[in-house]
Amino acid sequence: MASADRTGDFTGYVDLSSVPAVRRLHKNVLLERLRKAISFEYVAIGGLDLEGYEFGCSQSIDTDIPPLYMDTYFAEKMSPRDPLVMAGKTRKTVYTEEEAFDLVPPPQRLLYLSRVHGVRNRILFPLCRNDVVYGAVCFTNARPFTQDERDFLSMMAEPLHGAVTKPIMDRFAANHLRLTGGELLCLKLASRGLTSEEIADQSCYTPETINSYLKSATRKLGASNRVQAVAAAIRRHLID
């Protein structure tokens, strides 16, 4: 699995499936500020808030971990045998690799790769939505993280994941979910607290059409009602 440069420009890709699954993570404002607050060596941001691209599917990773480590890790299919990934997918709580290795012995090959490439003391922060681990943030460090550092990184994991994945979500989330322009417009106006009648005053749609668009958008977003649909659309950067 080849890595790709992470510039945030996805205009050259026709759809999400054409984007390289592993991308090199370059400068990010929130990440740089986080590095000033807490010392860590590498970070990997995995998963997207989209069906089929959740954490553990090996479908979307932004990282500054050495490319040779990542290429070998996926070429040799380490992910399904990595106790840290297994723990993150099933337990949905913050885990260090030491804690995960106590439960399931790691493959010797994984230990070798980690030692050779200096990927040490990994700690994983799974991100859950509706009982599904949609993403995760993994940090590594030369020494184990303190409890205070763990607590702080736990608070920052979700905002960091959102900041790093925003460009790709902005570009592809609506197409992946098959949301139409009319559905997105109605969601955007509904996010301002407008009723269907008020949305009709600001669009070319009738209230009946608006209700139909919001109903279909709600279904596509896996929400129960329009309020939840609006929240999901904002979270996935479909509207602002």
Domain extents in the chain:
3-170, 178-235
CATH architecture for the domain at 3-170 = 2-Layer Sandwich (3.30)
Cβ-Cβ contacts under 8 Å for 230 (sequence gap 6 or more):
187, 190, 191, 239
Return the closest-CA partner of residue 222 out of 96, 160, 132: 132
126 phi and psi angles, rounded to 5 deg: -70, 145
- What does CATH list as the number for 178-235? 1.10.10.10
Task: Report DSSP state, residue 236.
Answer: T
Per-residue pLDDT tens digits of the chain, which is 240 residues long: 444 444 467 878 888 989 999 999 978 899 999 999 999 999 999 999 998 899 987 679 999 999 999 999 999 999 999 999 999 888 889 999 999 999 999 999 999 999 999 999 999 999 998 788 999 999 999 999 999 999 999 999 999 999 999 999 999 999 999 999 999 999 999 999 999 999 999 999 999 999 999 999 999 998 999 999 999 999 888 998
pTM of the model: 0.86
- Cα–Cα distance for residue pair 118/141, rounded to 1 Å: 9
Whether residue 162 contacts residue 9, with contact meaning beta carbons closer than 8 Å, is answered with: no
Which pairs count as long-range contacts for 170-173, CB under 8 Å and 24+ apart, including other chains? 170/237, 171/10, 171/11, 171/13, 172/10, 172/15, 172/16, 172/19, 173/48, 173/49, 173/50, 173/236, 173/237, 173/238
Task: Identify the residue whose tokens are 């740089």.
Answer: 32
- Cα–Cα distance for residue pair 170/217, rounded to 1 Å: 17
